[in-house]
Amino acid sequence: MAQLWGGRFTKETDRMVYQFNASIKFDQKLFEQDIEGSIAHVVMLEKQGILSCKEKDDIVKGLTGIRKDVEEGKLLITDEYEDIHSFVEAMLIQRIGDAGKKMHTGRSRNDQVALDMKLYVRGEILHITKALQGLLDTLLHIMEENLTAYMPGFTHLQKAQPTTLAHHMGAYFEMFKRDVLRLQDIYKRMNYCPLGSGAFAGTTYPLDRAYTASLMGFEGPTLNSMDSVADRDYIIEFLSALSVIMMHLSRFSEEIIIWNSNEYRFVEIDDGFSTGSSIMPQKKNPDIAELVRGKTGRVYGALMSMLTTMKGIPLAYNKDMQEDKEVTFDAIETTYHCLVLFNGMLATMKFNYQNMEKSAMNGFTNATDAADYLVNKGVPFRDAHAIIGRLVLYCIEKNSSIDALSIEELKEISPVFEADVYDAISLKTCVEKRLTIGAPGLKAMEEVIRINREFLDENRTKSLGDK
């Protein structure tokens, strides 16, 4: 048991208490960030005349040596230290002696852990953004290739109107685009440095907080030292953004599961992204999509957990906040893997165009257009709606589709029908006439693709705080 704070205690901590309190098992994930923050801190301490140049050099050399040794597996992070901060400080003192004891001047573990977690989350926002961009690339590619791949669109999971695969994929493009923008927004709001806030009331040392902040690519220092050590809003915002990403992935997964079912057969998932059954040899299951759908619960759980943890905590730092780490790490890892695997599954998935088109032709998806046809010939819409309703009923009885009826049959239901009706309600016309921006018509889709291509190119070059 190695602690930083033994001075005022006369008895050893109970073993179970120690283990309950310790966080090194999970906060060792913050090792890199802890070193980076400590280097910035001591560089600033030297600039302010609080450390000598030699002391600063010794500490920086010591810290980079520790980082290298851990990276190369020569130094193991072990459980005997309470947390990652204690481990790094103890190693430093072991290696460079007294100068190491000066590293923590003007700092508390409260502002240290606030910084480490911010640096970590900030990096992960970029990481997740890149994974989202990969998915957006795949989606735009599928859109470009499938502008006239007709399929039914659904409401209430009932065939409603015809659309195209490009249009359907475009809906998901917009969702994941908003996710990218949401992350950019969170990044901007959180990018202020808490270091120098001390335990919560700042410090009497003449620290240059703006300088430390700039060394680590922050916009500037946070403006209230009490809030700085107690703020986990950015984690909650990030978990909320991850939850929305997972919600989008889950809806998409559900559709793929339906499209992959024996009844639909709109898609075939690549062998590399599906699994078999141990008993039923014919099975090829959409496990990746199902797992992504299932793991959504975990990420929502992390968000709920953090909201609940934070809700009753008085200012400033309280140990409850140590609970921010495990759930956040798990949610980030889960979302990242889901994005990457889902993207791989989507990019290799084959679309069964024949089945999609056949399904679009069979489900009365042109009923609205048939009504519009009558409206164009002067029939009031409400009457047209009723006429087509009767027509659909007739088709159901005859097991036919509207366009398979003869002109005589059509005229019997309404004399307004003429031979041009077949062209007016063909799948191609139904889609191509929908040309308002955002609709599936070819010209409208081409314009949207151009705008979204620009968005992707711009976003790839504008790299936030990417180093």
The residues carrying an active-site annotation are 156, 277
CA distances from 27 to 84, 249, 323, 455 (A): 6, 29, 10, 37
Phi first, then psi: give them for residue 154, nearest 5 degrees.
-120, 150
Task: Using the minimum distance from each CB to ligand ARG, give the nearer residue, 319 or 467.
Answer: 319
Q: How far is the CB of 42 from ligand ARG (least distance, A)?
A: 19
Residues forming a β-bridge with 426: none
Q: How far is the CB of 92 from ligand ARG (least distance, A)?
A: 17
User: Is 269 exposed, middle or buried, given 0-12, 13-18 or 19+ CB atoms closer than 10 A?
Assistant: buried
Residue type, 308: T
Q: How far is the CB of 81 from ligand ARG (least distance, A)?
A: 11
**Closest by alpha carbon to 288, among 342, 229, 363, 221?**
342
Q: Which residues bind ligand ARG (CB under 6 A)?
A: 23, 27, 83, 109-110, 113, 317, 319, 321-322
The residue whose Cβ lies closest to ligand ARG is 322
Q: How far is the CB of 82 from ligand ARG (least distance, A)?
A: 7
Task: Using the minimum distance from each CB to ligand ARG, give the nearer residue, 110 or 212.
Answer: 110
**Closest by alpha carbon to 394, among 417, 424, 375?**
417
Task: Using the minimum distance from each CB to ligand ARG, give the nearer residue, 321 or 387.
Answer: 321
Q: How far is the CB of 107 from ligand ARG (least distance, A)?
A: 11
Task: Using the minimum distance from each CB to ligand ARG, give the nearer residue, 118 or 434.
Answer: 118
Q: How far is the CB of 249 from ligand ARG (least distance, A)?
A: 30
Task: Using the minimum distance from each CB to ligand ARG, give the nearer residue, 83 or 179.
Answer: 83
Residue type, 198: G
Joined tokens for residue 390: 């009767």
Q: Residue 8 and residue 12: Cα distance in Å, rounded?
A: 11
How many Cα atoms sit within 13 Å of 135 on the Cβ side? 31
Task: Using the minimum distance from each CB to ligand ARG, give the nearer residue, 66 or 316.
Answer: 316
